[in-house]
Structure 1
Amino acid sequence: MSERTEQVWFITGASSGLGRAIAEAALDAGDRVIGSARDVSALRPLAERHAGRLVTLPLDVSDRDAVFAAVGRAAAAFGRLDVVVNAAGRLLSGMIEETTEEQARAHLDSNLLGALWVSQAVIPHLREQGSGHILHVTAMGAGGGSAGYGLYGAGKSALSAISQAMSAELSAFGIKVTSLEPGPYATSLFSKAEFAARNPAYDRVRSAPGKEPLPKVSSPAKAARVVLKLVRLQEPPTRLVLGGEAFERVQRIERRRGEEYAAWEWLSREGG
């Protein structure tokens, strides 16, 4: 690990959930934070407690022009950006057939394109200073999907792919990129979820037995402490699962995927 020096963070979705927990941890560690959210009123007590070290910016990440303007203000607030956290997002629950076009577009605008716009806006600043670390909050096992959460998985999987590409593209400029894959945390993600109108045809799928239970819900403060350790590493990973039980579940997902590939190797090889 590198020696502890003050860092400047730009965090989207900073008013709640993992974004809020990371902002609090960074401030408690003596860092400075620019926190953005659609509604920044929830950040006022935090700004009062850390006077002069937290700047709040109202921002809808789905608005590309607004993102670029906000990033410009963020970079000017403290003269630099060291860590950028794409934590803004929402949860859409519904079978693929049930999901409307409006829901799909709004969901991907927020969970995928919002992080893309932020990344495009911050990269020139980080490239000019020759350093920086971009963190994308995806989901455990990003790269797959589960019944009822296909659009959520699609957005997180695509963001994970973008994150991997960015890591390869930006390492030559001293910029690090990590995809965070959290398990379930005690946040408002599920309580504020949007639901597609239910089609009774899928009731049998929703009530099907044998589904693997989710890992136990943990405190987002634990994840935030891990993130603070992560950004101090000289050579951080390009992917990091957050949570012990989540890590075990990801291992099972990857093992089953490998087993399926192996089982159908004979047919794959017939393709040339």
Structure 2
Amino acid sequence: MSKATTSRTWFLTGASRGLGAIWAEAILARGDQLAATARDRAALAPLAERYGARFLPLELDVRDAAAVRDAVRSAEAAFGGIDVLVNNAGHMLVGAVEEATEDQARAQMDVNYFGALWTTRAVLPGMRERRSGHILQVTSLGGLVAYPALGLYHATKWALEAMSQSLAAEVAAHGIHVTLIEPVMFPTGLASSSPQTEADPAYTHARQSLYSGAQATGLTPGDPTATAEALFAITDTPEPPLRALFGTGGLEAVRTEYAGRLASLEQWDHVARLAQGNPAS
């Protein structure tokens, strides 16, 4: 495990499982300080036992903006400030857009988008005051492309992408960096632990397209433990990127997606010109 040149303080959401659990262990093993959140604080007890005062376990539902602000204040009080925020908490609702209930749709947006928004807003005053900080938003390859039967999940990630790109331009003057991490395919149990809509036979083809499409892409699952080194490669550089894919195969998928978009826009450019009218006349 690579070592940071200086010790930093991290705030990590969704730390009890998947990539979050791997990153929490790696951050602490590196010698840094970590405030980590989970909906069940007991899930973080093993880390607390091993790392003592360098680790602050926090029970948090990121949908609760007031609780998020309290958690950030607790971390700042314990460690003196937050250097790196990693918004990792999230789930993936599987199902067609029409199938989702109102509660499912709102929960998906509340966790994946608003949860990250509340945490981001909570750390910004301290980062601005210190004129340094790095905010990492864990989106997905699904933040750049969209597949059937994942529409509401994609919507949350696309929203996070747009907000974060604007944010990066807003906070650069304050010495704060923003990076969107785009995991491609990793066996973390996300799909099996996430909710699904009640299947409607009218959308059987959508699910079939999703699963057959995933197989047809030829994407190879990556090693989740290797993502920790990738995370540090992003946070250790003085000029981190706005976006970084984690895993192989994603770049080809994005190239195909954007080539298709441009081709369609060019094909229908005559409509754009029709809509423009002739203001000079």
What band does the TM-score fall into relative to the shorter chain? over 0.9
Letter in 2 for 1:237: P
Amino acid of the residue matched to residue 243 of structure 1? G
Q: 2: CA distance between counterparts of 1:86 and 1:221? A: 18
Paired residues of 2:142 and 2:157 also in contact (CA < 8 A) = no
Aligned to 2:265: 261
Q: Is the 8 A contact 1:141 1:253 kept in 2?
A: no
Q: Which amino acid counterpart does residue 250 of structure 2 have in structure 1?
A: A
The amino acid that maps onto 1:101 is E
Give the 5 Å matches for 1:45-124: 45-124=46-125
| One-letter amino acid of the structure 2 residue matched with residue 122 of structure 1 | V
Stretches (4+) displaced over 3 A = none
Q: Greater CA radius of gyration, 1 or 2?
A: 2
SS at match of 2:190: coil
Aligned length: 271
Q: CA deviation at 1:49?
A: 2.1
**How far has the Cα of 1:10 moved from its partner?**
0.2
Residues 95 and 207 of structure 2 are in contact (CA less than 8 Å); yes or no, is this contact kept in structure 1? Answer: no
CA distance in 2, matches of 1:29, 1:240: 22
Q: How far off is 1:247 after superposition? A: 2.6
User: Could you report, residue by residue, the CA deviation over 1:78-132 in whole angstroms, capped at 9, with x for unpaired residues?
Assistant: 1111000000001101100101101101111111100010011110011111100
Q: Once the two structures are superposed, what CA deviation does each residue of 1:130-168 show, in whole Å capped at 9, x if it has no partner?
A: 100000011115144211000000000000111101101
Q: Which residue of the partner structure matches residue 131 of structure 1?
A: 132
1:1-272 equivalent positions in 2, closer than 5 A: 4-208=5-209, 211-213=213-215, 215-272=219-276
Residue identity over aligned pairs, in percent, reads 42
> Do the aligned partners of 2:144 and 2:254 also contact (CA within 8 Å) in 1?
no
Is contact 1:10-1:35 (8 Å) kept? yes
CA distance, structure 1, for counterparts of residue 256 and residue 223 of structure 2:
23
Question: Normalised by the size of structure 2, how large is the TM-score?
Answer: 0.91
What's the offset of the Cα at 1:59?
A: 0.3
SS of the residue corresponding to residue 122 of structure 2 reads helix
Shift of 1:44: 1.7
Q: What stretches of structure 1 of length at least 5 have no aligned partner?
A: none
1:93–1:212 Cα change, 3 Å: closer
Counterparts in 2 of 1:43 and 1:182: CA distance versus 1, 3 Å: same
Alpha carbons of structure 1 residues 111 and 3: separation in structure 2 relative to 1, 3 Å = closer
Q: Distance in 1 between matches of 2:155 and 2:131?
A: 32
On the 8 A contact 2:149/2:206 being kept in 1, the answer is no
**Deviations, residues 214-271 of structure 1 (Å, cap 9, x unaligned):** 5222222212211111011111111111112223322222222222223323333332
Task: Please give the alpha-carbon distance, in whole angstroms, between the structure 2 residues aligned to 1:261 and 1:22.
Answer: 40
Higher relative contact order (CA 8 A, sep 6+): 1
Alignment root-mean-square deviation, CA:
1.8
Assess if the C-alpha contact under 8 Å between 2:23 and 2:228 holds in 1.
yes
Name whichever structure is richer in helix by fraction: 2
Equivalent residues of 2:96, 2:206 under 8 A apart: no
Are the counterparts in 2 of residues 25 and 228 from structure 1 also a CA contact under 8 Å? no
TM, length-normalised to structure 1: 0.94
Q: Structure 1 residues 189, 3: closer, same or farther in 2, change over 3 A?
A: closer
Specify every segment of 5 or more residues in structure 2 that has no aligned partner in the other structure, as ranges: 277-281
Deviation at residue 48 of structure 1 after TM alignment: 2.0
DSSP-derived class of the 1:155 partner:
helix
Amino acid at match of 1:49: R
Distance 1:247 1:49, change over 3 A: farther
